[in-house]
Structure 1
Amino acid sequence: MDLIPAPKSFSWVPPPGYVPLDAETLLEAQPGTEGVARWLRATVGAATGLPLADGRCGDNRVVLSIASGLAPEGYRIVVDGYAHRIEGGSPAGVFWGAQTFRQLLGPEAFRRAPLTPGQEWDLPMVTIQDSPRFAWRGLMLDVSRHFLPKDDVLRYLDLLAAHKLNVFHFHLTDDQGWRIEIKRYPKLTEVGAWRSRTKYGHRASELWDETPHGGYYTQDDIREIVAYAAERHITVVPEIDIPGHSQAAIAAYPELGNTDVTNTAAGSADATPASVKGSARLSVWDNWGVSPNVLAPTDHTLRFYEGVFEELLDLFPSTFVHVGGDECPKGQWKASPAAQARIKELGLADEDELQSWFVRHFDTWLAERGRRLIGWDEILEGGLAPGAAVSSWRGYQGGVTAAEAGHDVVMCPQQQVYLDHRQDGGADEPMPIGYVRTLEDIYRFEPVPPSLPPEAAAHVLGTQANVWTEVMQDRSRVDYQVFPRLAAFAEVAWSALPAPAERDFEDFERRMTAHYARLDALGVDYRRPGGPLPWQKRPGVLGRPIEGAPPNV
């Protein structure tokens, strides 16, 4: 039936056939499934034009129920000529079953309005039983490098739900922008949410877009995003990046930086390298890469970020809170007398242990409030905080090390599942970055290394694809990078696939034919199998002006 992700078990009810859904089809929501019923009426009902009125009698009805014996996110669909049943081990399981039910009706069930009002819809007579391989099936979206308005974020939550992904990792802060309102620190958004210009393309590019860029989400926006996600059984995991990738925060509140280094007058007799010294008057960074400007390891910085996290916890109910911890250059700490004094005061060996001390502080702080810290695999440096989990991005090794030490892990190695990397090496692809990672490459990704012992493999919570937006200026560009590869990733995260070399990519490609039509109905600007469409191609060549493009493109 061209289902994506592929279910564990699928069979036709003999003899194979179809039953109609029509204006008389009723929808019965048994206890615990009322939210799924609302979603079905709002999406499938809108696309088909069927009212799906509440009703509890007759065979021409869809029954939603929670059933014992199914995994919490597992579901069962039975269409056998009697009442059509969508059962789940929990409300989440019923919801994932409803996603499959929508696919059974065909691509036009993904539109916002019926093409032919009043028509009947054919529902195949099938039995499907399914459950996910991993509990953590995620997408990380970076809104710091390029801001996406709230409605675009809500749209991406719908796209995650359509692919049975259940974690939205929300990368909210970085050197290039602070994207969440913190009421006690208004300058974080007054100053930190805006940069004067933007590097056009990757960090080696010499092109600039001189248009100021920025934006942020109010706390009411965040509440709406979190509630919208919860209705779709998606957990939003916020990320506030510390102690590196923090230049936007330091631009707003300079005292957060290593002022005994950055305030050193240029040309003075000190031997601090200029690349470490930075600037006493930092602005939100307009370049890509790794900024040398990192947080100072002071009590004031700790109290400041405790205040940030206090407001964050009021907005995000997720168990996990991501603190980044990646790519923290140690140059300023090495040059800073205050940082060196802190290392001596705490009895630490070096700057790596100083970073570990910083992370451990917030691990303890979050644990005292019933939350868990998760960070990128650099938090392993200098010793891992006892309750911390790891997002393994620099290949598999960080995840392997953490899992073997008894820490939970989310596998997201950049070589496999960074969707900002180009999909093809062609010269007409949009502004390229990173490796070439094709649809088939993503489909053959295996989150659990076969060398990992079973007891360590049990610590792999799941996997996520990461979307860093340096070269993605708007929603359309994000779509092009993410799709169709997110469909392949979703099947890897959900389905019980064989070893990578044994996976049937030809069958997946065949099923993608129908899925492309679903993406069309959803308005997704995905990369076509034959390459970019004219408006998706790289915008011209150097020296030839292109309407609407930055200068010199």
Structure 2
Amino acid sequence: MGLIPAPRHISRNPSGRGRLGRATRLVAGPGTEGVARWLRATVGAATGLPLAEGGGADDAGGRIVLSVDPALPAEHYRLVVDGSQCRVQGGDAAGVLWAAQTLRQLLGPDAFRRAPVRPEREWDLPAVTVEDGPRFRWRGLMLDVARHFMPKEGVLRYLDLMAAHKLNVFHFHLTDDQGWRVEIKKYPRLTETGSWRARTKFGHRASPLWEEKPHGGHYTQDDIREIVAYAAERHITVVPEIDVPGHSQAAIAAYPELGNTDVVDTSALTVWDNWGISPNVLAPTDNTLRFYEGVFEELLELFPSEFVHVGGDECLKDQWRRSPTAQARIAELGLADEDGLQAWFVGHFADWLAARGRRLIGWDEILEGGLAPGAAVSSWRGYAGGVAAAQAGHDVVMCPEQQVYLDYRQHAGADEPVPIGYVRTLEDVYRFEPVPEQLTPEQARHVLGTQANVWTEAMEDHARVDYQTFPRLAAFAEVAWGRLPVPADRDFAGFERRMAVHYRRLDALGVAYRPPAGPHPWQRRPGVAGRPLDGPPPSR
């Protein structure tokens, strides 16, 4: 059956195969109405079956019955195909959706199309009972839309792909040096100026190639509301990221007073057209704090998520070292150094968000200089940040670059398009273990889950994003969902056999994944420089 993620328990039922046809009815119990809409819009569209509202138990064409079973834990499900009856049960509405996703997989790859290829077909189902539930509450994908903008339709598509793999947190990287992507009505120049750059480096930053045309775009606030609502229908939480105090050149280009004006002519800055780490960072002034409070006030109206991501990584402090204003702030606050100044800056927003019932999360650099209680950490520079955070009592999302940065190359071959960073194969991702072994059981409870990160410097369009993300996201989804053996004991050969089925689902979905045998000719980027194979990984 090739189920991905693999379920904890599956058994055969003696009643024989189930079958869906035009007379099959759909019964939606209380709390499952959203899943019923999803089934009709996706499985109904793919199969051509009306899945009309259900009637009595004697429906001749059989029934799909959706229900919430409070005896099951949250997000857990039970799927029972028993002759003409298909029972789709979850501990909550999310569990019912995950059961429905498994039902879709059981129907075969054609159930992932947008319209039926054989309209008169009846659809067989194996007579099975599947019982399953996730290991982690945070099963995430981070998508960088700041370096290369992804239009709204592409974001909605990725939410569908996440839901198909039972991923439930979409980390939305909305701002960086190279672009600001969310409308803030109080500060219109953030998108009028900050969302466009004059040209774009093509390939790694060492490449001599440029795309000599403007690049940009942004999401209106109604676009964001639509994205958040679409995600919620799929039981995906959207966590926005507004990067501070580094990775902020686009914002400074729009509002020069945000920068360190006493050491840099910030009025001359533009949205950055190259990759790497810009030295232009936010000034640690009251004006900057009030400005970003205004940004976050609008953001909180758009995103209901518990967590708000503030970046906090790779903040070069050379300007602060030279800035009399920054040095005066360090002295005024009695701080030891510039690391302490960054901790103060991040801590301000941790307190500000906490006062509004939200929680701050940032990259593991926010641990430097101390971290406010209640704040959480995205551990990207290996496991060390996550270990330190969990040992200090902070919640952690594990996303170490060495394992789950999907912009990194998938093979050492010369045909890989714009090869970046370490080689990380499908098997490498499958053998990733999110919980560091040095944590005690009590500390390990601070690991909320795990996340794969897709940075888009070298991904100029959705086809390149697909190539880098898939099929490795399928392996990551199984790691995030299931309770797998220790990495050395995982059955990668069995996973590859299931992937043989799953590739057909990805084909039906139109995903431009990397084929197992290597890139298609049109997926290569000959002559576009990447990071040398033996070099260090790039900055994030």
Aligned partners of 2:172, 2:201: CA distance in 1, in Å? 23
Aligned partners of 1:244, 1:534: CA distance in 2, in Å? 38
The farther-off stretch of 409-418 and 378-387 is 378-387
Aligned partners of 2:267, 2:357: CA distance in 1, in Å? 38
Name the residue aligned to 2:55. 56
Name the residue aligned to 2:536. none
Q: Is 2:154 the partner of 1:152?
A: yes
Structure 2 stretches lacking a partner, 5+ long: 530-540
**1:148 alignment partner AA:** M
Q: Is 2:306 the partner of 1:319?
A: yes
Secondary structure at the counterpart of residue 387 of structure 1:
coil
Aligned partners of 1:450, 1:14: CA distance in 2, in Å? 42
Q: Is 2:458 the partner of 1:456?
A: no
Q: CA deviation at 1:68?
A: 2.2
Name the residue aligned to 1:39. 38
Name the residue aligned to 2:10. 10
**1:8 alignment partner AA:** R
Tell me if the contact between 2:19 and 2:84 (Cα under 8 Å) persists in the aligned partners. Answer: no
Q: CA deviation at 1:540?
A: 4.9
Aligned partners of 2:95, 2:105: CA distance in 1, in Å? 16
Name the residue aligned to 1:272. none
**2:12 alignment partner AA:** W
Equivalent of 2:484 in 497, 500, 503: 497
Q: Is 2:12 the partner of 1:25?
A: no
Name the residue aligned to 1:235. 237
Equivalent of 1:140 in 139, 142, 157: 142
Q: CA deviation at 1:83?
A: 2.2
Name the residue aligned to 2:460. 473
Equivalent of 1:329 in 294, 312, 316: 316
Tell me if the contact between 2:202 and 2:528 (Cα under 8 Å) persists in the aligned partners. Answer: no
* Structure 1 segment 54-133 matched on structure 2, within 5 A: 54-57=53-56, 58=58, 60-133=62-135
Q: CA deviation at 1:541?
A: 7.4
CA distances 1:160-208 after superposition (whole Å, capped 9, x unpaired) = 0000000000000000000000001000001000001111111111211
**1:346 alignment partner AA:** L
Q: Is 2:355 the partner of 1:368?
A: yes
Q: CA deviation at 1:98?
A: 0.4
Name the residue aligned to 2:472. 485
Cα pair distance change 1:541/1:257, threshold 3 Å? closer
* Structure 1 segment 506-525 matched on structure 2, within 5 A: 506-525=493-512
Q: Is 2:227 the partner of 1:225?
A: yes
Q: Please report the TM-score for the alignment, with normalisation by the length of structure 2.
A: 0.96
Secondary structure at the counterpart of residue 372 of structure 2:
coil
What's the % identity of the aligned pairs?
Answer: 77
Equivalent of 1:197 in 196, 199, 205: 199
Cα pair distance change 1:95/1:541, threshold 3 Å? closer
Q: CA deviation at 1:280?
A: 4.6
Tell me if the contact between 2:18 and 2:84 (Cα under 8 Å) persists in the aligned partners. Answer: no
**2:18 alignment partner AA:** V
Secondary structure at the counterpart of residue 11 of structure 2:
strand
Q: CA deviation at 1:101?
A: 0.4
**2:525 alignment partner AA:** R
* Structure 1 segment 296-445 matched on structure 2, within 5 A: 296-445=283-432
Secondary structure at the counterpart of residue 383 of structure 1:
coil
Secondary structure at the counterpart of residue 99 of structure 1:
helix
Q: Is 2:249 the partner of 1:262?
A: no
Q: Is 2:529 the partner of 1:527?
A: no
Aligned partners of 1:335, 1:124: CA distance in 2, in Å? 69
Aligned partners of 2:3, 2:523: CA distance in 1, in Å? 28
CA distances 1:340-374 after superposition (whole Å, capped 9, x unpaired) = 00000111111001000000100000001000000
**1:172 alignment partner AA:** L
Q: Please report the TM-score for the alignment, with normalisation by the length of structure 1.
A: 0.94
Equivalent of 1:174 in 173, 176, 184: 176
CA distances 1:417-462 after superposition (whole Å, capped 9, x unpaired) = 0000011111111111111100000000000012211010000000
Aligned partners of 1:206, 1:110: CA distance in 2, in Å? 41
Aligned partners of 1:541, 1:315: CA distance in 2, in Å? 39
**2:110 alignment partner AA:** E
Name the residue aligned to 1:547. none
Aligned partners of 1:346, 1:46: CA distance in 2, in Å? 61
**1:378 alignment partner AA:** E
Aligned partners of 2:503, 2:83: CA distance in 1, in Å? 30
Secondary structure at the counterpart of residue 79 of structure 1:
strand
Name the residue aligned to 1:551. none
Equivalent of 2:248 in 222, 246, 249: 246
The farther-off stretch of 449-458 and 150-159 is 449-458
Tell me if the contact between 2:203 and 2:528 (Cα under 8 Å) persists in the aligned partners. Answer: no
Cα pair distance change 1:86/1:499, threshold 3 Å? same
Aligned partners of 1:105, 1:99: CA distance in 2, in Å? 10
**1:458 alignment partner AA:** R
Name the residue aligned to 2:525. 538
CA distances 1:120-176 after superposition (whole Å, capped 9, x unpaired) = 000110000000000000000000000000000000000000000000000000000
CA distances 1:393-438 after superposition (whole Å, capped 9, x unpaired) = 0000000000011100000000000000011111111111111100
- Runs of 4+ residues over 4 Å off in structure 1: none
Aligned partners of 1:176, 1:110: CA distance in 2, in Å? 35
Tell me if the contact between 1:49 and 1:117 (Cα under 8 Å) persists in the aligned partners. Answer: yes
Structure 1 stretches lacking a partner, 5+ long: 264-278, 543-553
Cα pair distance change 1:166/1:541, threshold 3 Å? closer
Aligned partners of 1:496, 1:125: CA distance in 2, in Å? 25
Q: CA deviation at 1:538?
A: 2.1
Q: CA deviation at 1:386?
A: 1.6
Aligned partners of 2:192, 2:334: CA distance in 1, in Å? 38
Secondary structure at the counterpart of residue 386 of structure 2:
helix
Aligned partners of 2:346, 2:372: CA distance in 1, in Å? 7
Aligned partners of 1:353, 1:541: CA distance in 2, in Å? 40
Aligned partners of 2:114, 2:464: CA distance in 1, in Å? 22
Secondary structure at the counterpart of residue 261 of structure 1:
coil
**2:22 alignment partner AA:** A
Secondary structure at the counterpart of residue 251 of structure 1:
helix
Aligned partners of 1:342, 1:280: CA distance in 2, in Å? 23
Name the residue aligned to 1:550. none
Aligned partners of 1:292, 1:368: CA distance in 2, in Å? 31
Aligned partners of 1:293, 1:398: CA distance in 2, in Å? 25
* Structure 1 segment 275-314 matched on structure 2, within 5 A: 280-314=267-301
Tell me if the contact between 1:50 and 1:118 (Cα under 8 Å) persists in the aligned partners. Answer: no
CA RMSD for the aligned pairs?
1.0
Tell me if the contact between 2:209 and 2:528 (Cα under 8 Å) persists in the aligned partners. Answer: no
